[in-house]
């Protein structure tokens, strides 16, 4: 059970780094296409959208390959620094070759569909090795260490979260133990905090309260609701991707499918 909990915690800590990676790779993909376009204007050369969009798919392949590579790293969990470096070096080279091979295969398949005269596999493969191999190896070599650093940083931040929060309502200031909070809901113009058998109106937004709470315990399940997962006793499907969460006091809170990445683990555990 502890191993499963540790695995789920790591997964939640790592996911934001891959969302950042996805955004970065998509941005890089767009910039690479823009660079090819500018180059064709500065130095008179042919520019073909289909060609450049297909070739720069290379950068988008980092998204799934990085996720797979770091998934293997987390399963192996090398302990010493030397073992980490050896593992990252060997897998970095292997994933780089696989990356280039898959890219070349996709490019050749696309060229057979798009172009009347398709490119040759060997030509594209050699071109990718000569132009992208170095940066690809560096990316796969350092990615486990970057992800591990981000994971430690987020875990440290989670440990620093408050054990109590202060609810503000006009001139009143009430301190609440976060472990007693069942859920928090937007109740415009206020935010309502439900704690055991009491509820408190709060002057600040749900977003501000969310920043004060432990993200491993308090889950955003709806745009207007955060709840304490330790107080969930049952989940009932609405047959449309949404669920109703039944809490220890019998109240029901709607789980939106749009926030499923936050609460999906509860379906299996």
pLDDT of 141-156, one tens digit each?
Answer: 998 888 778 777 766 6
Q: What is the pLDDT of residue 2?
A: 38
In three-state secondary structure terms, 116 is coil
Predicted confidence (pLDDT) at residue 57 exceeds the cutoff of 90 = yes
**262: CATH:** 2.40.50.1020
The helix (run of H) or strand (run of E) holding residue 199 is: strand 198-202
pLDDT confidence tier of residue 104, bands split at 50, 70 and 90:
very high
What mean pLDDT is reported for the chain?
84
78 and 143 together in one domain: yes
140 and 109 together in one domain: yes
Predicted confidence (pLDDT) at residue 105 exceeds the cutoff of 80 = yes
Strand partners, 183: 194, 227
17 and 149 together in one domain: yes
Q: What is the mean pLDDT of residues 125-139?
A: 92
126 and 239 together in one domain: no
- Tally of domains in the chain: 2
133 and 185 together in one domain: no
154 and 220 together in one domain: no
Predicted confidence (pLDDT) at residue 101 exceeds the cutoff of 70 = yes
27 and 143 together in one domain: yes
Q: What is the pLDDT of residue 44?
A: 75
138 and 54 together in one domain: yes
Distance CA 14, CA 151 (A): 6
Q: How many CB atoms lie within 10 A of CB 221?
A: 25
Predicted confidence (pLDDT) at residue 221 exceeds the cutoff of 60 = yes
Q: With beta carbons less than 8 A apart as the criterion, state whether 212 and 157 touch.
A: no
What angle in degrees, to the nearest 10, is found between the helix axes of 121-159 and 62-76? 60
Predicted confidence (pLDDT) at residue 164 exceeds the cutoff of 80 = yes
Q: How many CB atoms lie within 10 A of CB 143?
A: 23
Q: Quote the domain boundaries for residue 136.
A: 2-159
**Domain boundary residue among 126, 159, 192?**
159
Token pair of 216 as six digits: 């491993």
Sheet holding 190-195, edge to edge: 198-202, 190-195, 181-187, 225-228, 218-222
122 and 230 together in one domain: no
Q: What is the pLDDT of residue 16?
A: 63
For residue range 225-255, what is the model confidence (pLDDT) as tens digits?
999 999 999 999 999 999 999 999 889 999 9
Query: What is the residue whose two structure tokens read 């315990």?
Result: 217
Distance CA 40, CA 29 (A): 17
219 and 195 together in one domain: yes
Global pTM exceeds 0.85: no
196 and 248 together in one domain: yes
**Domain boundary residue among 132, 159, 186?**
159
What is the distance between the terminal CA atoms of the chain, rounded to a whole angstrom? Answer: 10
**Domain boundary residue among 159, 186, 201?**
159
For residue range 196-216, what is the model confidence (pLDDT) as tens digits?
878 888 888 888 888 888 888
Q: Residue 219 to residues 92, 198, 216, 252: CA-CA distances in angstroms?
A: 35, 20, 7, 15
């Amino acid at each position: 059970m502890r191993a499963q909990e540790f695995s789920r915690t790591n997964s939640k800590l790592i996911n934001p780094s891959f969302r950042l990676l996805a955004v970065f790779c998509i941005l890089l993909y767009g910039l690479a296409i823009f660079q090819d376009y500018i180059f064709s204007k500065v130095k008179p050369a042919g520019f073909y959208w289909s060609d450049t969009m297909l070739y720069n798919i290379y950068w988008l392949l980092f998204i799934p390959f990085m996720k797979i590579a770091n998934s293997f790293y987390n399963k192996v969990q090398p302990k010493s620094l030397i073992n980490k470096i050896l593992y990252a070096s060997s897998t970095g080279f292997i994933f780089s070759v696989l990356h280039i091979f898959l890219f070349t295969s996709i490019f050749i398949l696309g060229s057979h569909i798009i172009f009347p005269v398709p490119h040759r596999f060997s030509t594209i493969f050699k071109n990718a090795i000569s132009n992208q191999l170095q940066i690809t190896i560096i990316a796969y070599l350092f990615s486990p260490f970057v992800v591990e650093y981000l994971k430690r940083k987020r875990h440290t931040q989670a440990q620093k979260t408050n054990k109590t929060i202060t609810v503000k309502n006009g001139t009143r200031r009430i301190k609440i133990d976060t472990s007693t909070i069942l859920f928090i809901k937007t109740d415009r113009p206020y935010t309502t905090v439900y704690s055991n058998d009491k509820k408190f109106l709060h002057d600040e937004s749900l977003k501000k309260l969310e920043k004060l709470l432990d993200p491993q315990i308090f889950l955003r399940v709806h745009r207007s609701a955060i709840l304490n997962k330790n107080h969930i006793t049952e989940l009932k499907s609405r047959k449309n991707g949404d669920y109703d969460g039944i809490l220890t006091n019998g109240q029901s809170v709607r789980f939106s499918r749009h926030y499923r990445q936050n609460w999906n683990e509860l379906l299996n555990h």
